[in-house]
Structure formats: C-alpha cells, structure tokens
A and B are shown apart, each in its own frame.
Chain A
C-alpha cells in the first residue's frame, strides 16, 4: 500500500477542480435532453413520462434513470425552478448549467468509490498495476469529453458497472454483482450488450457447481432469480400495470434509425462504408453496378440512413446476428473457465462485438470496450499490446464530438497528456508474459500510434486550410476509418491473447 501515489482521492480532487473550470465549456444537445428529462419527471405524473413529446428529445432511457432524474429535479427545484418547465425548451440559465454540470461531477463519486474498491480488493501483487488502471479510468479523456464537456452521466453509469464487475470477483459478493448489473440495465439499456457475459458467468460461477456443471445450486439460483425479477419489477412493473410496455419499448429501442450514426463510429461498418466510397471510383473499371441514388446521399458523410452505392445493403438482422455470433465465441471459453479475468475479458469482447457489428452504434459506446478492458490491460504485456491501439483509436474517435474551437486544445492536449502518462506508466508496470508473442502486434501498434499525429493535424488544421469548407466529410471519414482500423486491430489482437492465455 505504501507506494500508491497519487492516491485516487488526490486525483479526484484535482480532476474535480479541472472539471469545475469546464463549467462554461461547450455542451451538446444532450444537455437539453437531460434538462428536458428533469422537467418531465418533475412536472408530470409517471404515467405520462414515456408519452410526453413537447421536446424532440423524448425520454428514451429505462425507468431507473427517469427516477434518478426525478431525484435530481428535487434539488433543481431549489436552484432554478424555471428549468423544470417542459415547454421551456433550450433553457440554459447559468444556474441550470451549474446545477446540471455539478450533478455530473457529484454522481461521479460512484466511480471513485468503485475504483477504490477495485484497488482494495486486488491481490497484493497486482495492487500497483490495479492502482494505475484505476487512475486511468478516473482520468479517462473519454469520460472527460463525453461527460464534462459534451454532457452525459457516464461516470455514474460506468461507476455502477465497475462496482458490479469488482463485486463479481469475490464469491461472497457475486449475488450483489448480478443484482447491481440488473439495476444498471434499468438505468441504461446499452449495457444489455454486456449481459451475455454476465449471464454465462453468473450461471457458471454462481448457480452451478464449481466441479461439475450438473450440480445445480438451487439456493443461489433462486436468490439471483427472485432478486433480478424484483429489480425489473420495481423498474418496469408500474408501466406494465398501466399497459405502457409497448410504448416504453418503442422509446427504448428506436429501430427506425440508420446503420451508422451521424458521425461514423469507428467500427466494421465505417470500414464498410469507406470501402464502398472507394469502390465508387473503382466501379467503372471493375464493371460493378453503382446505385445512383446512394451517390448523392453518401457524399455528405453526415447521413442518418446510409445506403451503399456498390456494396450490398446491411440489414438490422445481419448486424444483430453478427453481434451475437462474435459475443458467443468468447462466452464458450468463459463457460469452461469461469475465472474473474476471463469474465472481464468476455465482457470486453462482448463490448467489442456490439461496438464493431451493432446497429446504429454511437462512437461514445467505445467506453463499453475501453473501460472493462482497462481493468485487465495490465495483466501482462500481451494484454497491454492489444490495449494500446484501442486507447489511441477509441479516444481519437471521440474528437469529432467536440467541434468548437475553444474546446479543441482541451480535447487534444488532455488526450495526449493521458496517453503519454498512462501508456508510459503501463509500460513500466505490466509484467512480462510467460507466453511467447504471437505476432508483431506491438510493432504495428507503435506505427499506428505514430500515424495518429499527422492525421489529427490534417483533420483539424490542414484540411480547413487546403479545402476550406469543401469536402467536409473527408476528415470525419479519415478519422473514423483510422480509428476503425485501430479498434478492429486491437480486437483481433485481444481475441488472440484471450484464447491463448
């Protein structure tokens, strides 16, 4: 314990100071989304929460998050009641801004607690690497950009997730872990992507015997089952009673959206789109059919429904099948080797699969991969080798979220600061692996990281100087394709590490 400096609390204090200074920073429409939810939950009866549509930003998170907004609105009432009026669209008095930003900072304490628990429960030999990993999550540029500038409550949400992951380590707290994860699903349903790993792990390590899978521990199964049913009942029960479940589900799962989000998340579909774009030029020579309609719609790069010019369309069903397929592969290993490290690895790979193959993936979802991965990235050097390109690509891919000049130095310098600091520290702390290196992943990752510098310079500075406002989709496409290569590369690398260790 002697050497764990700076402590998590010290980092939290300094990080909080920095976040408070960011109060006047740019905020996205998500700020108005959450203000609207404060207003809805405060001023309307529960039955109307999922029907209200004065604002275009309707309530589309599960009920626990709505209850959480209701809880916050009790304080908001004291600060500035005007922000709680549903028709007060785009209301952003300084009290509202300070209050909402402060609520993000305050609820992040859950993350601080979860991380300190993670370090405390780590085995003695892994205390220092765990401490470094915990700090890397606490100071993550992803959380800083998304929560404290762009505006969301990911610190709180990922705090609950990490708490649940940490509780899964000890046998005695595994029930709590499962229940907490169930509650987390009722806060934000994006974590459904990680649910398969939880299901397999809890089934194998909690409900079935350690030696034989045919030895069912009924007591545990009943405890977990009733617990989960109670939690889901508390969240969805009232709405089921009022017969609002179809409406609620239509809000939670808006399948009418397109394959790619407004910005391209760096996943398989970004590479797919990029290939499609390239094939448009190659099509005449290769005698491929070009869908003329698609030409006009893709050129912007900022589209809701992408249609492809050369390559075949991708349906929601395809993405769903692919996601499930790539989630199942690691789960087989988890089923036969239900250790905590394998569990975290599986959670990470579930995150990867959903991010890479999912439908309408938002680039913010990269945290679903980075954060669980961080917990085991320091297991040995091979893990770190797979983590490195992800850390670069994942964070660089978040840059387009902030496009204002004033925030540019913050996002870039902070991310570079984090990358330099933590990748250097990780390099020192990660123990050598007892397995041989499979391929030259680390050489590629060094090259990959080096490419990011000219790319960022081009996209943020040179492009504007050379092209002015023309071809504005180009930087976005470069960024997301570059990041996609990194994410896919780190996924492949991690799959290899996962199955060979």
Chain B
C-alpha cells in the first residue's frame, strides 16, 4: 500500500502457505490488514505502528525501550567487580579519568603504566578528561590521584554507567538512526520496516553486553564509524573521513575497517571517472582531521615543557631512548624545542600499538588460537608468526577491498567493511574477543538494507551475532554475568524469530534452493553445538588435565563459524556488486526447468 516494501510478498506467501491461517479470516473482513500477520515478534511489537503513526512517535518509544534494557543490564556487575588486585576494564576507564583530570597532559601516556596505563588514542583520553571533570564535580574522591584506585562506590558505578549511556546516545544512536533512515530511503524501504531494523540493530546483544554490562565505550567508536558510513550514503565523503579519523582516534581497533574504507574512497575518486578534486579534498581533510586530533596533545606537551613540567618526572631530567625507533633516538637532541612533541607522539604510538606483545593474549575465537589447538604455535619464532599473520590478513582483506574498490557503490559499504573486519579478526595480531563487535556492527546494519529483514539475511545476521556473543560467554561468565548474557541474547533471538526460540527463518517459501538448504544445515550444526556446549559447560566439569577444555572448544567452534561468516559476507559482496555476472547462470537454470 504505502511505498514498495520488499516484505509484502513474504507475508503474502505466508498466507498462502498456511491454509488454516487464511481460512480463519472471515471472507467479509478479508482486507489486507486483516489477513496478514507479523512474521516474528519484533514485527508484532511494531505492528500497531504500521500505518499513520509518525516517526516522531515511534522513534522516542524505540529509544526509550532500548535505553531501559541498557540501563537494566547495567545494574549487573562490571568486569573486575570485587576482583582485586587489578580489577578490570571498568577500573581502566575510571583510572583514565583519574589520570587525565589529575595530571598535566604531557604525563597522560607515561603515568604508572603498570596500573592500567593509558593505551588508547587521544580522543579516548579527551573523552575521559571530560567525563572525569564532570564526575569530579559530583564527588572529587572518585578520581583522586592514587587513592581512588579500585574504588567500588555504588554511586560511582551509577555515574560510570550513565557516562556509557550518554556517550552512546550522543554518538552511536544518532548515527544509527540517521544511517538507517538514509539507507532505507536509498533502497526504497518503508519507514515501518526501517523502525524494525533500527530496533533490531539497537538491541544487538553483543554491544549491550560489552558496553553496558562488562563496561567499555565501544559504541562511541562504532558510532563514529556508523556516522562515517552514513556520510558516505549522503555522498559527503569529507565528513565521512572526519568521522572515520575520529573513530580511529577513539579506538585503534577501527583500523579493521580502514582498508575497505580506503579502497572505497579511492574507488569513488577513480570510478566512473577520475575525480582529482575529490581525491585532494579527501586527502586534505583526513590530514587536517588527524592534525586536529593530535593538536591538544602536541600543544599540551609544548606548554608543559614551557612551564617546566617534565613528561617523565621519574627520570629526573635524564634522557631515555624513544620507545619506538629506539635505535635512531640518538639522532634527536632531547633539549630541542620539538623534542617533547616527538617524545609524546612516539609514546602514544607505542602505547596504542603494542607490537611487542604476542600473537594472541587470551583465548579468542580466531584462526591462530584455533590453530594453536592443533599445532603449538609457541614453538615457532615470533617473527615468522608475525609475518604469517600479516600475510594471511592481507590475503583475506584483498578480495573484499578489491570488490569495493572496483565497484564503489555506497550500499555495498557495510558488507565490505564487515568482510574486512572479519578478515582482521580471524587472522590479525593481538585480537581480543571483544573485537568481534567490529565485524558484527556493519553486518548487523544489513538488516536495514535491501531484503534486510528477509529470512536469509535475518538468519545470517542472527547467526553471526549469536555466535559472537557465545564466544564472549567465557569472558562474561568470569564475572558472573550468565544471566544478562542469556536474557539479552535469547531476547534478541526471540524478537527476530531466530533459533533457539524459533526455526521459522529456515522454512523455505516456494522453491527450495541449495543455498537455503546449505544455510539451514550449517546453522543447525552450529546452533546444536552451541546448545550442547552450554549444557556441557554448565553441568560437567572439564577433565583434570585439560582445565581449559570448554574454552578451547568454544574458540574452535567460534573460529570456524566466523570463517563462514567471512565467506558469507564476501559472497554477498561479490553477488551484490555484480562483479561476477550470475544472471547467466540463473537463466541457464530457468531453461533447464
């Protein structure tokens, strides 16, 4: 009725495929509204808003509902809660507020690195400074130097939870709302389906569990990337660069997206015709954004040097080699005016990119950790492993980057970002299990795209997300967060009609296809494995000589599943881009029938 919706056919098919349902409707009232029904619970919840409800009524409702779930989840414990001596991510974030508000800017990246030293890029530091200032105004003891370490004041917890929500509602949520609106307009999807997609994206269990329960500010970085994608949709490439630089400046993990983003932006400068002004604009804006990002740090270093404040008071005015390029340190005069800048930036880069650490720290569901189960990687020299990691990553990111470079169409960007992020997650260095949020974010926003709410896309997006939170279960379980894990992931599965609450996404309407059959069988195997793993982990203790057995199995299954997700994203990208012409194949099939 209102606008071309890709989902109306699905509902019609449902009606005819289920005879009893259609016959239950009295013929006199067999209007379209009377005979159709929502295919999954989330559609049912927005059912009353199908027609004649303005966006300004439904949007605040959605934002309030998702906010309530976030805040309620935040009532649970955070990482490192009552877990001395080091506590966890919560303490790290709190400590950064302490460091940034109590110390001169030049000491931020140097202060007592053993206790959660600052190791995120400058925007995180500035963000911490703002939050620390606000919090210090409420209660100065929260961020007092040294004495506030490991503080577990319940009001501080409320404040910290509030900062995550506020940061998210200022960055991620507006970005998601605008992105969904732009993408759905671009694809001609009606606003009702856009609302469903938006709710599904905002209820994504992974981000809620990590940011609002476990405690981090990932949504700020993800929101900036989303804003960057959103700017691409609007054709504002320079804004897109600014947002992307800010994302990088907030959390270096945004580098996972960088190759695809770079390939896309390069692509739009070259195809369909070479566009030099655009290229120059992008380049200049990117450099300027980086400069602006670093400016407070640089000026702060100069100002502190001018005031006679040493970045490293522990050295008592002596000289220490730079942490990176140490062998060239002697080339720089440490009394030169520019030395504080060099020192500051070198330290920042050194803190942000810890090359010195191993291939992987903890058990994480990527290729290396899974491989480690079969071959003990510890026996190989670390240079070899690093080189192998680089090679594998490059090999995995090249296809998606090539496709998005050759076919720089804006609606392909999410899936391209997702594929490259999967490649990084699977093969790169120093991956953390929480990093799975990176590939998941652009993959989840596919729900707002063309056929985004179709069974196939819902099945795959749902599969990746549920597998993703499942691999984070060991992380959450360590701080007794089983209940929010089960509640939020099952709730999301329920809302979108996914296993284990419903198998409806796998019932094929009309012609069964091989692809559908493959999807069903792959997903069933994984869902069964996940369920069995939960039963085993919950009721059986691992054998004496293998205390990590459940985690290792989790990692193994997760890595294979993520590999499949990577392949699906790549496949979708290739098919959607039309770089390979599948229509000929289809025609052949039709002829054969």
Contact = CB atoms under 8 A, between A and B. Distances in A.
Interface of A: 1-3, 5-7, 10, 13-14, 17-18, 20-25, 405-406, 409-410, 413-414, 416-417, 420-421, 424-425
Contacts of B76: 21, 24
A423 to B, nearest CB: 11
B494 A13 contact: yes
A413 B68 CA distance: 7
B494 to A, nearest CB: 6
B45 A17 contact: no
Contacts of B47: 3, 5-6
Contact of A2 (B37, B44, B45, B488): B37
Contacts of A416: 64
B528 interface: no
A126 to B, nearest CB: 16
Contact of B64 (A20, A22, A406, A417): A417
Given A5-B48, A7-B44, A18-B69, 15 more contacts: A2-B25, A5-B44, A14-B41, A14-B45, A14-B491, A20-B487, A21-B72, A22-B72, A22-B75, A23-B483, A406-B75, A410-B68, A410-B71, A413-B68, A413-B71
Contacts of A10: 41, 44-45
B440 to A, nearest CB: 21
Contacts of B530: none
A37 B47 CA distance: 44
Contacts of B494: 13-14, 17
A424 B71 contact: no
B71 A409 contact: yes
Contacts of A5: 37-38, 44-45, 47-48
A453 to B, nearest CB: 14
B153 to A, nearest CB: 11
Given A6-B45, A10-B41, A10-B45, A410 B33 contact: no
A148 to B, nearest CB: 10
A7 B47 CA distance: 10
B35 A2 contact: yes
Given A3-B34, A6-B45, A20-B487, A413 B67 contact: yes
Given A2-B35, A5-B38, A13-B41, A405 B155 contact: yes
Contacts of B75: 21-22, 24-25, 406
Given A13-B41, A417-B61, A2 B158 contact: no
Contacts of A3: 33-34, 47
Nearest to B33: A3
Interface in B63-109: 64-65, 67-69, 71-73, 75-77
A13 B484 CA distance: 15
Interface of B: 24-25, 29, 33-35, 37-38, 41, 44-45, 47-48, 57, 60-61, 64-65, 67-69, 71-73, 75-77, 154-155, 157-158, 161-162, 483-484, 487-488, 490-491, 494-495
B69 A21 contact: yes
Nearest to B52: A428
26 contacts: A2-B33, A2-B37, A3-B34, A3-B47, A5-B37, A5-B38, A5-B48, A10-B44, A14-B41, A17-B487, A17-B488, A18-B69, A18-B72, A21-B72, A21-B483, A22-B75, A24-B77, A25-B75, A406-B158, A406-B161, A409-B67, A409-B68, A413-B68, A416-B64, A417-B64, A420-B61
A232 B47 CA distance: 46
Contacts of B490: 17
B135 to A, nearest CB: 13
A13 B41 CA distance: 10
B41 A6 contact: yes
Contacts of B77: 24
Contacts of A425: 48
A10 B43 CA distance: 11
Looking at chain B's contact residues, the main secondary structure is helix
Nearest to A94: B480
Contacts of B64: 413, 416-417, 420
A420 B24 CA distance: 34
Contacts of A23: 483
A23 B69 CA distance: 13
A425 B47 CA distance: 12
Nearest to B67: A413
Sorted nearest first, the 3 A-B pairs with minimum C-beta distance are A5-B47, A21-B72, A5-B44
B68 A421 contact: no
B41 A406 contact: no
A17 B42 CA distance: 14
Contact of A417 (B34, B68, B73, B161): B68
A6 B35 CA distance: 15
Contacts of B495: 14
Contacts of A20: 483, 487
A489 B539 CA distance: 58
A40 B490 CA distance: 37
A406 B212 CA distance: 13
A491 B41 CA distance: 38
A13 B502 CA distance: 14
B167 to A, nearest CB: 15
A17 B48 CA distance: 22
A467 B57 CA distance: 36
A397 to B, nearest CB: 21
Contacts of B45: 5-6, 10, 14
A425 B154 CA distance: 38
Contacts of A24: 75-77
A318 B72 CA distance: 44
Nearest to A18: B72
Contacts of B72: 18, 21-22, 25, 410
A17 B488 CA distance: 8
Contacts of A25: 72, 75
Contacts of B65: 417
Contacts of A420: 57, 60-61, 64
Contacts of A417: 61, 64-65, 68
A139 to B, nearest CB: 11
A413 B60 CA distance: 11
Contact of B44 (A1, A6, A22): A6
Nearest to B48: A425
A24 B154 CA distance: 13
A21 B48 contact: no
B487 A21 contact: yes
A20 B77 CA distance: 14
Nearest to B61: A421
Nearest to B162: A409
Contacts of B154: 406
Nearest to B486: A20
Contacts of B487: 17, 20-21
A19 B495 CA distance: 16
A460 to B, nearest CB: 14
Nearest to B30: A2
Contacts of A2: 25, 29, 33-35, 37
Between B47, B61, B72, B161, the greatest number of chain A beta carbons within 10 A of the residue's beta carbon is seen for B72
A413 B70 CA distance: 12
Contacts of A409: 67-68, 71, 162
A420 B58 CA distance: 10
A482 B489 CA distance: 41
B424 to A, nearest CB: 32
Contacts of B37: 2, 5
A5 B487 CA distance: 22
A3 B45 CA distance: 12
A38 B34 CA distance: 49
B34 A414 contact: no
B159 to A, nearest CB: 8
B67 A21 contact: no
A410 B71 CA distance: 7
A311 to B, nearest CB: 40
Among B29, B41, B48, B67, chain A packs the most CB atoms within 10 A around the CB of: B48
B400 to A, nearest CB: 36
B119 to A, nearest CB: 30
